[in-house]
Structure 1
């Protein structure tokens, strides 16, 4: 079976967790606990573009909080 995260023709969601980390997620797989959909189901490239334009600081939120104290 092909990797569902690598399917160029698949549809995906963009998820984010409480740490502000993003994930490209296949649209046919249930969203895991602790993750929230932030971008509707679209093609892989559209979702990757969304992640690239919205996730500019790769540090987890907990680290950002500590560093800003």
Structure 2
């Protein structure tokens, strides 16, 4: 498992409103922004499960809404 020895993570989101976690002490990868959730891996993943209720990328949701 990558980054398994990291103690603190940050929740990140990309332009398609897709979520992930990233080690808090590393620079964010291009295209991702940090969310106001930071903490242990398990807490960050629980936060993502709570807020990411529609797994479809934003562009697909918007296309479906226009149709």
Q: Which TM-score band applies after superposition, normalised by the shorter structure?
A: 0.7 to 0.9
| Structure 1 unaligned blocks of 5 or more | none
User: Which secondary structure state, in structure 2, belongs to the residue aligned with residue 30 of structure 1?
Assistant: coil
User: Which secondary structure state, in structure 2, belongs to the residue aligned with residue 41 of structure 1?
Assistant: strand
Give the equivalent residue in structure 1 for 2:59: 62
Give the equivalent residue in structure 1 for 2:44: 47
Moved over 6 A (4+): none
The offset of 1:51, in angstroms, is: 0.3
Q: Distance in 1 between matches of 2:36 and 2:47?
A: 8
Give the equivalent residue in structure 2 for 1:3: 2
Structure 1 length-normalised TM: 0.83
The offset of 1:9, in angstroms, is: 5.9
Q: Distance in 1 between matches of 2:21 and 2:6?
A: 14
Structure 2 length-normalised TM: 0.85
Q: Pairwise CA RMSD of aligned residues?
A: 1.7
